[in-house]
Amino acid sequence: MEVGNYCFSLERYMECVPIYRLEACSEKQGLRKEGEIVNIYAYQTPPKWWSPKLNILWVKLFKGIRKRVREKELKVHDVEIQNIEKLNTVIEEGCGVLITPNHSSHADPSILYKVCDEIGFPFYFMAAWQVFEKSNPFRQLNFRLHGCFSVDREGTDMRAFRKAVEVLQDKKNPLVIFPEGEIYHVNDRVTPFRDGPAGIAITAAKRSDRPIVCLPCGVKYLYVEDPGEELINIMGQLEDHLLWRVRADLSLEERIYRFAEAILGVKELEYLGRIQTGMLSERIRDLSEMILKQLEEQYSIDPKEDLKLPERVKTCRREAIKRLESDDPKSQAEAKDYLDDILVVTQLFSYPGEYISSKPTIERIAETIDKFEEDILKSRSAGIRGERKAIIRFGDPIEVEPEKRGNKEVVHRLTSKLERNVQELLDEINCTL
């Protein structure tokens, strides 16, 4: 039996230290009615750009606070760092270092700063501009003093691009970019990497007098306390929410599958007018592709064959933002619905139907129920079920060869290699557990 963990997410998280969830839409989007999808991204042109002001003394002063946040709020009491010598070596050799971790949790940046504390050397972080815009002035300053700078992930942000290249060219401190772009809460699998980080590394290699290396990084979370009782309780709330009888007689795996079928069926009825048959993974893929093609046709977007789905989504979203910021009320209203549909596509894509059935670990089950809690029960953020451990594993550095900036094939190859290597790191971690 194939067990699914499909849901259409209403929650996303941004990469910064520490992570804060966003809640508001663009002012032009206005307020939503109860029950409508609320997209927590502020879909608009960024009001400004936030530059980094990395301050080593500030980072040292906040070490204790970061530890408390990690242990009390994120409940990560143990961080095991594997192959840290690979990072130390490229720093000592004077290379420009781009660290490319997977991005399965909003805790990732905080966990990676544990590496900074271990080596006594802070990193730069590229973070979504919404993190800064929705934070108070002190938090904005704190982010910047921790080496964070903003990026518009929906557009071509040349200021962020130039700053990232500059860091790799001139700074001894490594730069961290999460190539997945989004957080999908799928810790054992990487989703397709975007080409931006590889493009930055190749451009820096072309302009720099020193070697530029990409350092793959795998981040894995494990529960060290059994969260089973709380998961069972949340699953009961989910079933009750659908006016179902609580099926305590079934395993969590079976209950998740039944619930996922119900939610997917609702979306199929909405978009197709019927419930499909077949394997859950196939139904998710077919519905996602159908919605995306309709969106591309609606805005006369020519889908390029070499683009992965996240890049196609990005193109659609960029076009919607243009219309959202227009003076035409009809165009604005259309763009709101368009963005909601894009959100559905993104989440359909991010949840493989066989994720639990292929390996029903407590972590995979918890990830799925976490998402249901956020999306169906509308929790502001899924609860962390118990004490956790994080494992960070660094891979072999990949030296970036200087290439022409416009050579997309070279960028694609480096992106694919980074994606493969990070997945291999996660597989290696899992093999040791």
Considering the domain architecture, whether residues 316 and 260 belong to the same structural domain is answered as yes
Q: Could you tell me if 256 and 4 are in contact, meaning their C-beta atoms sit under 8 angstroms apart?
A: yes
Tokens standing for residue 259:
């619930």
Tokens standing for residue 162:
């130039």
Half-sphere exposure of 60 (CA within 13 A, CB side): 6
Q: Could you tell me if 288 and 14 are in contact, meaning their C-beta atoms sit under 8 angstroms apart?
A: no
CATH of the domain at 402: 3.40.1130.10
Q: Could you tell me if 195 and 311 are in contact, meaning their C-beta atoms sit under 8 angstroms apart?
A: yes
Tokens standing for residue 326:
């227009």
For residue 20, tell me if it sits in a domain.
no
Give how many domains the chain has, as a whole number. Answer: 2
State phi, psi for 213 to the nearest 5 degrees: -125, 145
Report in angstroms the alpha-carbon separations of 225 from 76, 210, 222, 230: 11, 46, 9, 11
Local confidence pLDDT in tens for the 433 residues of the chain? 333 333 333 223 223 333 323 332 333 333 333 333 333 456 677 889 999 999 999 999 999 999 999 999 999 999 999 999 999 999 999 999 999 999 998 899 999 999 999 999 999 999 999 889 989 999 999 999 999 999 998 777 899 999 999 999 999 999 999 999 888 889 999 999 999 999 999 999 999 999 999 999 999 999 999 999 999 999 999 999 999 999 999 999 999 999 999 999 999 999 999 999 999 889 999 999 999 999 999 999 987 777 888 889 989 998 998 898 889 999 999 999 999 999 899 878 877 788 999 999 999 999 999 888 877 888 767 778 889 999 999 999 999 988 755 578 899 999 999 999 999 999 999 999 8
For residue 185, tell me if it sits in a domain.
yes
For residue 304, tell me if it sits in a domain.
yes
Considering the domain architecture, whether residues 263 and 358 belong to the same structural domain is answered as yes
For residue 115, tell me if it sits in a domain.
yes
Q: Could you tell me if 173 and 121 are in contact, meaning their C-beta atoms sit under 8 angstroms apart?
A: yes
- Distance between CA 167 and CA 262 in Å, rounded? 48
Considering the domain architecture, whether residues 333 and 412 belong to the same structural domain is answered as no
| Burial of 72 from C-beta contacts in 10 A (0-12 / 13-18 / 19+) | exposed
For residue 44, tell me if it sits in a domain.
no
Closest CA to 185 of 102, 251, 71, 280: 102
Closest CA to 191 of 102, 107, 128, 112: 102
Q: Could you tell me if 151 and 157 are in contact, meaning their C-beta atoms sit under 8 angstroms apart?
A: yes
For residue 289, tell me if it sits in a domain.
yes
Range(s) of the domain holding residue 418? 56-224+387-431
Tokens standing for residue 141:
């300053």
Considering the domain architecture, whether residues 134 and 218 belong to the same structural domain is answered as yes
For the entire predicted model, the pTM comes to 0.84
Q: Helices then strands (H, E): number in the chain? A: 15, 8
